[in-house]
Structure 1
């Protein structure tokens, strides 16, 4: 079939336009999300390098118009790589550069930027992973290949009948031209600025505004990056490109176009990565001034393209420069001589008069399409700039600070209680080895694949954990009065050195009263409260314990707690710790009794003076909560509130057994691993037969130091506690080695739910949910394995509440240091749920309403908080105690123990509140 030119076939010409518009729609699609995907791609799939390579390869292949199959292959590579097919689009349309056509076609790129976030958001809303977007791109590329083959295979993109230049000759002619280089810089500036905006917007809305990897992120990124910047710079690209190459004849023009586009695209690809490195060294706040400078420089360069637009004489000189004899270069086509018969000459009023009716000359009217476009575009630019640098900051300052309910992403905690300024510290530490990103299975009977969702390798020395200094961790500045600790917890005692986290317990010096608050010791207490939380999963740390393995008295701990309770803040904990309960019955009441019912809890408890079973405060946020009360939610289908708590699980509390010890030393290092529960079983004896608990058969329970803990609870808590012997050399002063201690939480009830403890990647003990089943003797129901969002705690203190303190500790070498090599959190691949405010278990709104209780450590009870904030904090009605109230009927009718209906509380209560 004979080849023809696109210009000679009007139908094919518009088909080319349609195909190119579609191509650029894909460009917009991918550009809108590429910046957002850089981090997860690099973090989880290690794909950024390969994508960049594909993109550059495609750009280079298409740069100088190869044969058609190679051309299509280049388009395919660019489409599957980053989707940036601009080079090929520009090459196809290079002979249509004058007039509004290219502006119209290029607007499809901005259109793709605008529509893609909503399509991606819809995918995310229906739990379709973001990585499926790449299959969409492959599909687009396949459609493009098929369409391109039928459209382009028999058509040349320009008239090449007399194109006898070699590539070297073309380069020799066009490279010395300053017009080419001004055009190249202008295009590179426009593309770089656009890509920089894309690179900045997504991290900005994620990290500084708390939006997570979901629909809001893509919507905001698409709106600002696509709509504003795309429409601002998009129309300038074809104009600056056409001006940069219009001084050349057809055969030279395409080579110049390819040089400009390929080089500027390659340069613009590097700019976002360079800015990312700058942000690593400084912070995301470096982006706005850089973008302003980029816009300013780009505007100057773009202006130069119009100022240096070649005049007719200059075009003639350039067009007739040739390395070929005139007889070889002149063709029958006037276009090749530099003639521009299709263009109007601005000073040719004779042949191009401005008329309205064809007979009467006029100066024209301002009410023209072109006038409206010019004024509209100018207005849009002014409004966009004002909104970006004035309106949006003002609005952002005064609007309520809301955050996504689905947790945190990249570098920002979801609840936003504390702002931070540390750049580029992701959920997964960049220094975490790739080979630990997944676990092939859990422990025990859990065969699910586990995926790393959080890690901190503590590889950067000198980190600070004062309030606001870290995105995920904060060190307490408080006294842990609840357990009568002898030390003050100070952020100064927590830092990083030598690739480890150091938590130091030291004697307080004479000049250290401000730090120790007149206490004898100063320790460290580090938490991720309200910053990083996880619901179910496996948390593990590599730890070297403080002191010596055979000397007792220190209290190092690694534990987790539900986010609704802040450790060391008594008002927040009262009535929530250590509950894990979701039934409306006596288990929600103080003493676990209503009047003298049930008798076992009233008369057969463990307290020697009162025979009371429990002194814990009643569950403040229980399933018995009446309607319209202050409760964080959620609600069950029957209209009752879900019972909420601050459940505690201790991964370890290190202790030293004094068996066979002499003279204050010679003991054996162990750790207790415990789950703290409320309400309590009679005698604090949970069901720990072989069906409900399992252990490492090679090391327990017959071993003296691998056994059920002799302490199973008291009137403040019931403990599913076990004891495990440690590596006796994994201590600061007894070998300096490290050991891994882990906790696997499988939320729920019954035998499918469990708490499992591991040491050095080996399961040691596992307690199943049915060990905490209902107890008819004391009329309580099952206590679930928690589905609260849990935060992580690392601490080193000293207290007689935890056990005896050896004189060798008191009089021995100081300081004592607990070293943590790393902390990692995994979750089943099909059950990822991170964040302190998940939709199904919200905490943020409740914490914000009662922030005083969560920030004032001097408030030891909820009553004290209510006295301090009477307009905000009020007693929460329990339906069992308000049975006649209309708003308590739904909760009351949900109780499984119908004996409670009609009962009233008595005045003679065996209550000795723990505070």
Structure 2
């Protein structure tokens, strides 16, 4: 590929290890207010007086953006069935749109037929789902290690009706959400010790002395998860072992290996010495927070039995109210990675700039796991799951696997008024990421030198793809959408219509020239060739470059 202007680069599998100076990254949306681009003290964590610079933002100000694979430099809206967490939805890029300055994730009743896979019989079969929603991922496009992550969002649906599962979260780049082949034996490990107990179940363990796929020898790797918000809604009323009621926000760190002996019982509080200690809860005026007794993690069952392993969720719940569902609120996490030896680091969650929950590295000593140091990417989605806000246990004499609205046989298994909650809109005003200036622990890139992922993903590409895909991600398309007028291409500032095709101005990309370009200021990765419609003297040429 011959040299292009930086904004024109395809961003699949980008590798970089940049440290933030004044503004290291060109992932910053030009529509972000100028004051947010000036490095200054931004942390809410006591004692953190470092200056933070903006390294990524998306303000969603341009109407009509599309997030199909290859259409946007920052996000991919997946088109596939979700078969994790007892999901009842199908994800479609059609359900992610920008309008009036916000990104809307629409969850609606819509039937989807698809080919599913039976893990027991190892065969495909025809299946269908009745809810359609959207998930956007920055997987293998924009990733980072450490910093401040902030979303401004309005939650979807009626807070008194259960079933919706909106989430803003982060995941290690070695696992791609909903692509289970990529997450098996990878999620949610954050463990860097050579341990015979975990060596079988942690695919990239710290015992390996050979650096396959560019990995560092004797370095354990994985894909931990940081949940900034998972919102639970439903009928109010006292819940067991907590003073929190629905609706509430769950904030969590999910890591492995997990506690295996004398684990807490769901719905009850843990016994002293059998769970993570010295966790910090942020109860104060107008803030009600408690340990989350409803989710301590999952057992990932595999055959033979020695491949089974335990994942832990270290989680707290914050009481929400109706305003979180009818107006915008701020959701933030401050993530400080550990030192090179794995010690220290922290995570601290804030909602509307009020402290919610904190985990220090020392609190993880029970299993000797670590605060994440993996390059992580951003996710935004609304799921629907029979394990989230549905009647539990399912009533007797009920068709418990029937979830179709309008089918009388299904009603007993659904939350009260569940079907009236559709369509529901999850509105996101902006996403911003800040990193401390000249802080060596804060790194940009999906495959930094200290935690590479590029060669691993290339060598296991099928794990990150659907059947029939040619690659995990398509090359970024710049221009080329059929058009009649310049406004179909965003207007003269973004792109114009030339000979019936959109041609983009510098700084804009996507088939209709509606997305601000995004790229790392330093880029040494190998990329597929982009599809480019370049504007030259009001003539266009559309081709790989």
- Identify the TM-score tier after normalising by the shorter chain: 0.5 to 0.7
What are the Cα deviations for residues 417-467 of structure 1, in whole angstroms up to 9, with x where unaligned?
xxxxxxxxx511111112223451423232222211100000111110000
Per the alignment, residue 767 of structure 1 pairs with 359
Distance 1:739 1:587, change over 3 A: farther
Equivalence for 2:303: none
Aligned counterpart for 2:34 among listed residues 434, 448, 470: 434
1:744 alignment counterpart: 334
Does residue 625 of the first structure (1) align with residue 235 of the second (2)? no
Give the whole-Å Cα distance in 2 for the aligned partners of 1:439 and 1:696: 25
Matched, 1:444 2:52: no
CA offset at residue 652 of structure 1? 0.9
CA contact (8 A) 1:508 1:520 kept: yes
Q: CA deviation at 1:844?
A: 1.0
Match of 1:634 in 2: 216
Equivalent of 1:507, from 98, 109, 133?
Answer: 109
SS at match of 1:786: coil
The 5 Å alignment of 1:384-783 reads 405-406=16-17, 426-437=26-37, 438-445=39-46, 446-509=48-111, 513=113, 518-589=128-199, 618-627=201-210, 630-635=212-217, 640=218, 642-656=219-233, 658-660=235-237, 668-681=246-259, 682-684=261-263, 692-698=278-284, 706-710=289-293, 711-716=295-300, 717-731=311-325, 736-748=326-338, 752-773=344-365, 775=366, 782-783=368-369
Match of 1:827 among 419, 435, 441: 435
Residue 304 (structure 2) aligns with: none
CA contact (8 A) 1:549 1:667 kept: no
Match of 1:853 among 435, 453, 463: 463
CA contact (8 A) 1:688 1:771 kept: no
C-alpha contact (below 8 Å) 2:19/2:437 kept by paired residues: no
Residues 810 and 661 (structure 1), Cα distance of their counterparts in 2 relative to 1, 3 Å cut? farther
Number of the residue aligned with 1:396: none
Following superposition, the deviation at residue 807 of structure 1 comes to: 3.4
What root-mean-square deviation, in Å, do the aligned CA atoms of Structure 1 and Structure 2 show?
A: 3.2
Change in 2 beyond 3 A, CA 1:796/1:689:
closer
Q: What are the residue-to-residue correspondences of 1:219-230 with 2, within 5 Å?
A: none
Higher-helix-fraction structure: 1
SS at structure 2 position matched to 1:508 = strand
Gaps of 5+ in 1: 1-200, 212-400, 415-425, 591-617, 860-915
Instruction: Using the TM superposition, give the Cα deviation of residue 405 of structure 1 relative to its aligned residue in structure 2, in angstroms.
Output: 3.3
- Secondary structure, aligned partner of 2:181: helix
Question: Is residue 684–residue 718 contact of structure 1 (8 Å, CA) maintained in 2?
Answer: no
Give, in angstroms, the shift of residue 491 of structure 1. Answer: 0.6
C-alpha contact (below 8 Å) 2:161/2:421 kept by paired residues? no
Bigger RCO of structures 1 and 2 (CA < 8 A, at least 6 apart): 2
TM-score by length of 2: 0.68
Structure 1 pair 498–587 and aligned structure 2 pair: CA distance change class (3 A): farther
Go from structure 1 to structure 2 and tell me whether the alpha carbon gap of 1:205 and 1:506 turns closer, same or farther (over 3 Å shift).
Answer: same
Provide Cα deviations, 1:300-349, integer angstroms capped at 9, x if missing partner.
xxxxxxxxxxxxxxxxxxxxxxxxxxxxxxxxxxxxxxxxxxxxxxxxxx
Q: Is the 8 A contact 2:14 2:140 kept in 1?
A: no
- CA change 1:565–1:770 in 2 (3 A) is same
Q: Distance in 1 between matches of 2:215 and 2:45?
A: 33
Q: Does 1:788 align with 2:367?
A: no
Rounded Cα–Cα distance in structure 1 between residues aligned with 2:129 and 2:99: 26
Please state whether the residue corresponding to 2:193 is helix, strand or coil. Answer: coil
Distance 1:757 1:721 in 2: 11
Secondary structure of the residue aligned to 2:456 is helix
- 8 Å CA contact retained: 1:751, 1:768: no
Distance 1:709 1:766, change over 3 A: same
The number of residue pairs the alignment matches comes to 403
Q: Secondary structure at the match of 1:625?
A: coil
Q: 1:713 to 1:649 in 2, by over 3 A?
A: same
Q: d(CA) in 1 for partners of 2:299 and 2:109?
A: 33
